[in-house]
Structure 1
Amino acid sequence: MDDSFAIKDALTIASPFIKTVVDTFVTPKLEKFRNRLTDENNINLLPIESNFTEYFHRTYKRLMVVNTLVFNNSQRFLDDIYVPLTIECKSERRVRLKIKGFPDKLSNDYSNILITDTAGMGKSTLMKTIFIDCINRQLGIPIFIELRRLSKEKTLIDEIIEQLNSIDKNFDKELLYELLADGEFIFILDGYDEITLKDREVVTTDIQNFINKAGNNKYFITSRPEKALLSFGSFREFYIHPLIKKEAYELLRKYDKQGHISSMLIKKLEEEYLQNIEEFLVNPLLVSLLFTAFEHKQSIPFKKHLFYRQVYDANFENHDLTKGDSYIHKKYSNLEIDDFHRVLRHIGFSCLKSQKIEFTKDEILKLISESKVFCVGLEFTESNFLSDILKTVPLFSEDGNYYKWSHKSLQEYFAAQFIFLDAKKNQSKIIDLIYNHADLDKFINVLDLYYDMDYKTFRYRIEFKILEEYHHHLQNYYQNFKSDLNLQLIPLRAEMTFLNETVIFYLDEDIDEDEEAHNDNMTDMITSISEQNNLDDILVSQIRIFKLQKLNLFQYVHPKNKLFYIFENKKNPIVKKFSSEKYDFSSNFPFEFNEEVKFARIDYVYNDGVNNEKNFKEINSLISDYVDESIIINHSEAIKRFNEIKNEIDKGSDEFLLEGL
């Protein structure tokens, strides 16, 4: 598209919608406040209609177009490349909705909505679509906040003020809080996982305080799965459904105006030998990378990191078709393709450590300078390299005063490549630190990429440690249950409870409140239960709540459980999807609760009143229904693989490298 004219036309069309939003929602609200405030000075400290009008025009313009690697960071309208995504409630699977715009009914049913999913599933795209539709249909006052901008020094209200401020006006925070608390605002808080780790706790508390002060509004938060999200107990959590093949093909066609490349690619994907790359077709980002990779080489890479390499190659070589196939943009830095890749690897790893993907100009230049020092022998200027990553190899984009990676997963690819190619003797130490990190969730995509880059190291440093922990779990936690009757049932219990701790809690009174309020209360109660019963806090990374009459089940899922999804995607047999169909589930529990027994562990901790020899089979049945459809360890394959890898390690399989030298 002719960017300037097309965007101008779109904004011209949107202007009356923006005016209606301001006239309908903003002006009456501001008038009411002005009538309340008799002090002229206070009135001057409130925003005015033009602040909102300017904000809506600026944000609409920014969100209605997307820069994507598929088009070498050139702009395309969001609406032109958006395929409606389906979201599903984690606690109520019957609640499922295809998002074509603002989800009116869903937002009315659950005013606070949390959308979590893995890298590239389209969370930010979904939020941009919701903002644009809010304006187009005049549904309220949408405020779009990128949470990575928040820090210990910059609160959510500070960011809102910055967004609404005109050049010469500053607002009073408390007055603005009052205005926001009046309702009709729709806050879209995008990218919770992109808040830096060092600021996470402070920023989380600030967001919670903001929601408490301005609770009479609608909220959307997006994030990759994070342990810290438990603190948002009032939010109903949804995840994005994987694309079906029809949707993936529709997306490919949207990327290809002429239709020739997408037709060739879809035809190739239908060939039988390519049926094992379903993993790439369910994820919108990977579908886009598949298109880019195929457009560049007319071949389909089978592993995820090879996608990223081909995308990098395509952007580096970046043939300008308007000047003929042979014309390649000259690089400001004069670096060759592999040297440029080397610098990006160091930048990617530095970003991984700091958990930042967005920088001021001074920060990004400092990062490039540090990478230049590490990459001995390369000569270039920091400013020229910055020009390259913005223009000739557009892996970064400029957003106002900030510079950011085009997509976080790109940064993770280069970080994984750094560990593989540059870390040398520290490679295993880095992998070990990641494996034992309290926020392992932050590194799952890096490990997913690393699995294919260097499976041998992954096998010894990650897979073996998981299997070793399972072996320990199996050998040490079931001594009290080993009757002849239960021996055959222990593997099932071990599978279901490995990296999960399941407890039950009994409430005396009937529960009249709705399920959302019930879950909120249970989440609050879980903290005191943990303290009273010495449950390890690190296990509280995810709480699944199951309610049956007065009985509540809580499952504490360890962060390492997320590694199971990597194994599943790689078709590694040490994990499996569990189905409870072959187990009978009954509401007639084999135990009774009384004044003394209101709480009990039913995983692998022996309990005379509940979890004992006599009830072992029934407790298995209870837990099996609860973990239904989850990815769990596969007992037989795990034991087999544990012994295989242990033998390899004991033999010292690399000794041949030194023999004969």
Structure 2
Amino acid sequence: MQIDYSKIITDLIQRNVEKVFKGVYKKGEEKYQELIIHTGTAFEEYLKSAVNKFSKTKSIIDKHRPVYIYDFYVDIDVKCGDDIINTEKVEQLLEYNKKITIFGTGGIGKSTLFKHLFLNTIRTTDLIPIFLELKNINDKSINDKEYKLEDFIYESLVDLNFSLEKELFIKSFYSGNYIMFFDAFDELNSDKKSFVHNEIERITNKYGDNYYLVSSRYNEMLERGWDNFYDFNVIPLDKEKSIQLVTNLDYDEDIKSKFLFQLTEGNLFDTHSSFCCNPLLLTLMLLTYEEFAEIPAKLHLFYEKAFYTLYAKHDASKGSFTREKRLEKKGLASDDFEYILSIFSAFSYLDSKNTFTRNQLMEYISEAKEEAKEEIGIEFNSNDFKIDLTEAVCILIQDGINYRYQHRSFQEYFTALYICKLGDEARQEFLMELFEEQPDSINEDTVFDMLYDMGRSKLERDFLIPALNELKDLIIDPDEEVMAFKFLNLIGSKLRFIADTKMVEGQVIHDVRARLVYSKPLNTYNSRYRYLVEFIAAKYNDYYKHIPQSDFITTSDKRKAAKEMYERMAGKDAYSESRSMFNYRLNINTFTKVDVKDVVLIDTVMIRKLRNSLWVLEMLREKYANKKTRKRRSKVK
């Protein structure tokens, strides 16, 4: 049963409007009451519009009608350290800290969680919630130094019928009566992430009495964190919650009951737990269940089956009803449709676009049409493709006046598919451009992971070898320690000493730690090499077995070296310093005055990843040199 939010919103605003604007309006002013009424009305209109927008969503199953989120929503848990928090009530999170980052993998339900928390704030607290879709900053021009995050917040509210003057609204931030939900940091373009990262840090310090929640996929920039934020991770669904979610979905009852039987009585959850514990993948499993008896273990094969299910079917809630596809009627085969979609996805992915205006959508379709005609001679009507894509297959859905992917992971799958089908030269060119334009995609998205599974040799030959060659040329040195030192400088490392101050028997003692941090913004040109060595460390870890045990430096050795370096350098003007009540920090922005051996000692983990990558490069060179030799020999025979 849907909740009537109108009265709840009115009561919330009436209880709090004077508190929010205390100090902004003065009671002695002649028009005080008029201002309060005008302000209350502005917030009521915003919250009613926001509830209408964020309380409903379209899904893979309900493609053409927005569904009330509590018709299917299942409460999820989040974890910080050893603490597990149930998110049924927002207050359980807010009791923990005022500033929280929530991390989770793609499809785990972060945006739906934030919508639930937004609605729950209205129902159960005296805070005024503000929901902010960070992806909308991608279309903003932030070159103007005057543009601040406050401007974006205000514009987001105005888009939902907020009518209060900007200056008055921003002054009210000091009241501490707001909770701001910054959704999907990971959907920001690379060139916007640093701006938003710095702005969130600034406003959370400036208006420190409010509550701030940020959601994101795992992200290198955010994993460095903000000093005043607590980091939570979304806990994947357990078997009970998976069953509850499927039960809640509006789907063909006969198919759903069979699927639930496999989930409850069979071993489906045990054999495919990585899919079943993710709401998006679990829903796709249900969709593919009738068509395919087996669920593949590889992610790209899973998405391949999901696409053909979406292509072949329409509304599962309407039994066997299938919507006619215009291009299929005109003779376009499903594999040709898939190829065109892969071009569209790859071109838009390279531009960091997953939400489109109608004009942008048609421009990308036109580009895909031109490429498809040139490569395989396919011609089609662009508008027919748009209609099939959004109304029949529903990989994209209309969201207000814009269009967006059902989920970013579909765009990533089709991008990987496109890259895999390219010729060798074109593939290398595309991958190296992606490496330059979106270096964080290597670790944050699934494109490279799926490519590794879809065509490992293609990825190795056309990307890893040339990218690693490029890295090696930049840092090459006969002295291995100097080479490691040059690598740390290349990726923007800073050396940070943290001296925790303690009183022991009346004496001040500094417990010195040292670690390497990475300069902002992380998405500088050379930071891509850090992503590269981390990707290789995840995929090729054989080398670690051969590293001598003596290379693994103990924590006590690191602390001893850090203390010696700290005592040698503290107080010198060349370094930036900061102090707090509890510790002293000293950042070294370059390593020119530091012994090479000392720097390399501090981050042995990153150095091992570098050494592993260089070993992989030699292994791959030998592998493909041998293949060429075998080919030549076979020709001679």
Query: Could you say which TM-score interval applies, normalised by the shorter chain?
Result: 0.7 to 0.9
Query: Quick check: 1:134 aligned with 2:121?
Result: yes
Contact 2:79–2:235 (Cα < 8 Å) also in 1:
yes
Tell me which residue corresponds to 1:298: 293
Task: Pick from 64, 67, 70 the counterpart of residue 79 of structure 1.
Answer: 70
The residue type paired with residue 414 of structure 1 is F
Query: Quick check: 1:62 aligned with 2:53?
Result: yes
Q: Compare 162-171 and 357-366 and name the one that shifted more.
A: 162-171
Q: Map residues 116-135 of structure 1 onto 2, 5 A cutoff.
A: 116-135=103-122
Tell me which residue corresponds to 1:217: 210
Contact 2:104–2:110 (Cα < 8 Å) also in 1:
yes
Tell me which residue corresponds to 1:450: 451
Query: Quick check: 1:338 aligned with 2:335?
Result: yes
Contact 1:46–1:176 (Cα < 8 Å) also in 2:
no
Tell me which residue corresponds to 1:239: 233
For the residue of structure 1 that corresponds to 2:209, the secondary structure is: coil
- Equivalenced residues, count: 587
Residues 470 and 195 of structure 1, relative CA distance in 2, 3 Å threshold:
closer
Residues 71 and 420 of structure 1, relative CA distance in 2, 3 Å threshold:
same
Deviation per residue, 1:96-137 (Å, 9 max, x gap): 3232231x2543442221223332232212211211211221
Contact 2:9–2:122 (Cα < 8 Å) also in 1:
yes
- Could you tell me which runs of 5 or more consecutive residues in structure 1 were left unpaired when the two chains were aligned: 1-8, 481-489, 491-497, 513-517, 542-556
Contact 1:143–1:188 (Cα < 8 Å) also in 2:
yes
For the residue of structure 2 that corresponds to 1:221, the secondary structure is: strand
Residues 358 and 162 of structure 1, relative CA distance in 2, 3 Å threshold:
same
Contact 2:493–2:517 (Cα < 8 Å) also in 1:
no
Tell me which residue corresponds to 1:396: 396
Question: How many Å apart are 1:344 and its aligned residue?
Answer: 1.6
Question: How many Å apart are 1:217 and its aligned residue?
Answer: 0.9
The residue type paired with residue 309 of structure 1 is E
State how far apart, in whole Å, the 2-side matches of 1:575 and 1:268 are: 41
Query: Quick check: 1:560 aligned with 2:532?
Result: yes
The residue type paired with residue 312 of structure 1 is F
Tell me which residue corresponds to 1:101: 89
For the residue of structure 2 that corresponds to 1:416, the secondary structure is: helix
Q: Compare 183-192 and 357-366 and name the one that shifted more.
A: 357-366
State how far apart, in whole Å, the 1-side matches of 2:169 and 2:349 are: 36
State how far apart, in whole Å, the 2-side matches of 1:261 and 1:19 are: 45
The residue type paired with residue 22 of structure 1 is I
Q: Compare 30-39 and 643-652 and name the one that shifted more.
A: 30-39
Deviation per residue, 1:374-411 (Å, 9 max, x gap): 22144444333333222211122222222111111111
Tell me which residue corresponds to 2:575: none
State how far apart, in whole Å, the 2-side matches of 1:536 and 1:387 are: 36
Question: How many Å apart are 1:188 and its aligned residue?
Answer: 0.3
Deviation per residue, 1:571-592 (Å, 9 max, x gap): x75679x999x99765995565
Task: Pick from 319, 322, 333 the counterpart of residue 328 of structure 1.
Answer: 322
Question: How many Å apart are 1:236 and its aligned residue?
Answer: 2.6
Q: Compare 257-266 and 136-145 and name the one that shifted more.
A: 257-266
The residue type paired with residue 350 of structure 1 is F
Question: How many Å apart are 1:355 and its aligned residue?
Answer: 0.7
Contact 1:227–1:540 (Cα < 8 Å) also in 2:
no
Q: Map residues 316-465 of structure 1 onto 2, 5 A cutoff.
A: 316-319=311-314, 325=320, 327-333=321-327, 334=329, 335-376=332-373, 377-422=377-422, 425-435=425-435, 439-441=439-441, 444-461=445-462
Contact 1:183–1:216 (Cα < 8 Å) also in 2:
yes
For the residue of structure 2 that corresponds to 1:19, the secondary structure is: helix
Question: How many Å apart are 1:146 and its aligned residue?
Answer: 0.4
Q: Map residues 577-616 of structure 1 onto 2, 5 A cutoff.
A: 590=560, 593=564, 595-598=567-570, 611=598
Deviation per residue, 1:169-215 (Å, 9 max, x gap): 75432221002332211000111122223444445455455445533
Query: Quick check: 1:24 aligned with 2:15?
Result: yes
Task: Pick from 589, 608, 625 the counterpart of residue 649 of structure 1.
Answer: 625
RMSD: 5.1
The residue type paired with residue 348 of structure 1 is S
Tell me which residue corresponds to 1:546: none
Contact 1:244–1:282 (Cα < 8 Å) also in 2:
yes
Residues 248 and 567 of structure 1, relative CA distance in 2, 3 Å threshold:
farther
Deviation per residue, 1:261-297 (Å, 9 max, x gap): 323542797279x84x544344333222222222432
The residue type paired with residue 114 of structure 2 is M
Residues 44 and 476 of structure 1, relative CA distance in 2, 3 Å threshold:
farther
Residues 437 and 605 of structure 1, relative CA distance in 2, 3 Å threshold:
farther
Question: How many Å apart are 1:162 and its aligned residue?
Answer: 4.1
TM score, norm. by length of structure 1: 0.72
State how far apart, in whole Å, the 2-side matches of 1:507 and 1:134 are: 40
Task: Pick from 151, 165, 172 the counterpart of residue 179 of structure 1.
Answer: 172
- Could you tell me which runs of 5 or more consecutive residues in structure 2 were left unpaired when the two chains were aligned: 485-489, 505-509, 571-585
State how far apart, in whole Å, the 1-side matches of 2:38 and 2:634 are: 73
Contact 1:11–1:57 (Cα < 8 Å) also in 2:
no
